[in-house]
Amino acid sequence: VITFTRGHKIPFPKDFVFGTATAAYQIEGAAKEDGRGPSIWDEFSHTPGKTFQGATGDVACDHYHRLEEDVKLMVDMGIKYYRMSISWSRLLPNGTIDNINQRGIDHYNKEIDILVKNGIKPFVTLYHWDLPLNLHKKYGGWLNKDASMKHFGDYADLCFKSFGDRVKNWITFNEAWCSSVLGYLNGVHAPGRCTNCKPEQGDSIKEPYLAAHSIILSHAVAVETYKKRYQQSQGGFIGMTMNSDWGEPLTDKPEDQDASERMMEFQLGWFADPIFKGDYPPVMRRQAGSLLPTFTYSEKQLLLRAKSDFFGLNHYSTAYVSARSSVSNDNDYFAHMNVSTTHEKDGKPIGVMADSPWLYVVPWGARRIVNWVYNRYRIKIYVTENGCDVPNEDKLPFDQAINDTFRVSYLHGYLNAISEAIQQDNVPVAGYFVWSFMDNYEWADGYAKRFGIHYVDYAKNNTRTAKASAKWYAELIKQ
């Protein structure tokens, strides 16, 4: 029997995990300090033309130097869970285990200790997009399956060994879809490979599939290592985080229903089917043929042995999906997926648009997507990211920006939809993390997009201020 309590009148199971989330490169800064090696994002962000106004994570929110202060803000909110990521190249400047940077280990020991001392349980992501640059340059990064499995495996092992006495929830990868598609197809994220974007050539047809393949197997290596060597003694859990919008069929025509299902399988199933079922979704094999790599017999065995403990889901928005009307000559991932998406139907938007053009506020989509995930995988779900930016927030005067009622109603709507999925549909969503704890470096969008429930004043020494949404969320958790 689940006992529900009602924060802001939204019922949640008593032991529900309420947290906030961040990622190392987006908040830490201190890019060259204490022996940290460069990652693909240092190089990418320092390449002219790649990010909005050339913004980099060199300083970001300066979180590296403000651990005490930031944890104090979490304590003020009554937050008991915090999703953070580790910068691989702080621990291993070249990405390889032959050169361990003790100051990097010391730093995360310090951070984890501060959290734990303050009653906050860390959920730790091993990879939030910041591949050590050396692994990319020397071995071809995620395009090199064997090197990826070895080096990610070593790095994961080091993290479990160093921090697993205090960290009980591990997330191997954040949004491998983004690493594969944004990094290797359209090149808007590091390492910026893209056939159409000179001078970084690349093979936009093959590479996204190869990168995804390496990441899936690297995940499995890490999970197996954890299960074999650490889980019993440390008593923690491990999984992967995947991202998707919900794809709502544009009409009830069978071809649009199929298109919706196909989109979900291409987006989530691409990673989750191998992880939970041991192979890619059949529809991907049919559509992509031999462009989609195959798992060898022993790799399949590995996938089936290395069973994840939960499904991490990052979810922000919903689009209408229909069968593609026009035939394209392309032969890439999107051609194989073969769907059209839109945020309008009969001239009406699906929801209000946030600041980012991809983010429409559609709370009911959250209920549908967690149902889709549970129906297909029958596994416990953590919503490891959900949140929004606010129209024009970066242009608003400070006192208006911190009164973010738009974000409050977004969070209210989405949490309510997730509550309904738990209560009425019996979907086992065990936790929820607001993206983000604070405004931060929003990748290719630089500092122009703000997702935080704390305002960061980049011009004024990175001063933090709780927004209305932080207060609202604190009250929900308290209730």
Closest among 243, 170, 179, 185 to 214, alpha carbons compared: 179
CB nearer to ligand GBH: give 170 or 316: 316
Q: Is 358 in the site for ligand GBH (CB under 6 A)?
A: yes
User: Of 118-157, which residues contact ligand GBH (CB under 6 A)?
Assistant: none
Q: Is 435 in the site for ligand GBH (CB under 6 A)?
A: yes
For residue 211, CA distances in Å to 125, 143, 184, 417 come to 19, 5, 8, 34
Cα dihedral angle (150, 99, 207, 56), rounded to 10 degrees? 150
Quote the least distance from Cβ 363 to ligand GBH, whole Å. Answer: 17
- 294 contacts: CB under 8 Å, gap ≥ 6: none
Strand order in the sheet with 318-323: 246-249, 318-323, 339-342
- What are the φ and ψ backbone dihedral angles of 255, each rounded to 5 degrees? -70, -30
- Concerning whether 175 is annotated as a catalytic residue, the answer is yes
- Which residue from 174, 225, 416, 419 is in contact with ligand GBH, where contact means CB under 6 A? 174
Closest among 348, 351, 356 to 410, alpha carbons compared: 351
> Rg of the chain over CA atoms, in angstroms?
21
Q: Is 160 in the site for ligand GBH (CB under 6 A)?
A: no
Quote the least distance from Cβ 235 to ligand GBH, whole Å. Answer: 27
CB nearer to ligand GBH: give 85 or 419: 85
Catalytic pick among 111, 265, 385, 393 = 385
Quote the least distance from Cβ 119 to ligand GBH, whole Å. Answer: 26
Quote the least distance from Cβ 80 to ligand GBH, whole Å. Answer: 22
Q: Is 243 in the site for ligand GBH (CB under 6 A)?
A: yes
Q: Is 451 in the site for ligand GBH (CB under 6 A)?
A: yes
Phi-psi region of 48 (alpha: psi -120 to 50; beta: other; left: phi over 0): beta
CB atoms within 10 A of CB 34: 13
- Which residue from 10, 27, 178, 476 is in contact with ligand GBH, where contact means CB under 6 A? 178
Nearest-angstrom CA–CA distance, 230 and 83: 20
- DSSP states of 114-144: HHHHTT-EEEEEEESS--BHHHHHHH-GGG-
Nearest-angstrom CA–CA distance, 242 and 178: 9
CB nearer to ligand GBH: give 152 or 316: 316
Q: Is 188 in the site for ligand GBH (CB under 6 A)?
A: yes
Element (H, E) at 365: helix 363-377
Listed ranges 136-144, 170-178, 266-274, 455-463: which one lies at the site for ligand GBH (CB under 6 A)? 170-178
CB nearer to ligand GBH: give 204 or 243: 243
Listed ranges 42-50, 59-67, 173-181, 212-220: which one lies at the site for ligand GBH (CB under 6 A)? 173-181
Quote the least distance from Cβ 11 to ligand GBH, whole Å. Answer: 27
CB nearer to ligand GBH: give 70 or 385: 385
Listed ranges 172-180, 218-226, 229-237, 270-278: which one lies at the site for ligand GBH (CB under 6 A)? 172-180
* Six token digits for residue 207: 């590479």
Q: Is 225 in the site for ligand GBH (CB under 6 A)?
A: no
- 460 contacts: CB under 8 Å, gap ≥ 6: none
CB nearer to ligand GBH: give 175 or 273: 175
- Which residue from 70, 111, 157, 175 is in contact with ligand GBH, where contact means CB under 6 A? 175
* Six token digits for residue 410: 């977004």
Q: What angle do CA 33, 35, 41 make, to 5 degrees?
A: 70
Quote the least distance from Cβ 14 to ligand GBH, whole Å. Answer: 29
CB nearer to ligand GBH: give 147 or 361: 361
Residue type, 332: D
444 DSSP 8-state letter: G
- What are the φ and ψ backbone dihedral angles of 466, each rounded to 5 degrees? -65, 130
Q: Is 41 in the site for ligand GBH (CB under 6 A)?
A: no
Fill in the per-residue mask, 398 to 417: x = in contact with ligand GBH (CB under 6 A), - = not in contact: --------------------
CB nearer to ligand GBH: give 157 or 389: 389
161 DSSP 8-state letter: H
- Which residue from 10, 23, 215, 369 is in contact with ligand GBH, where contact means CB under 6 A? 23
Catalytic pick among 175, 207, 224, 265 = 175
- Which residue from 157, 265, 332, 385 is in contact with ligand GBH, where contact means CB under 6 A? 385
- Concerning whether 385 is annotated as a catalytic residue, the answer is yes
- Which residue from 204, 314, 341, 416 is in contact with ligand GBH, where contact means CB under 6 A? 314
Nearest-angstrom CA–CA distance, 432 and 440: 20
Residues that bind ligand GBH (CB under 6 A): 23, 174-175, 178, 188, 243, 314, 316, 358, 385, 435, 442, 451
Question: Catalytic positions, please?
Answer: 175, 385
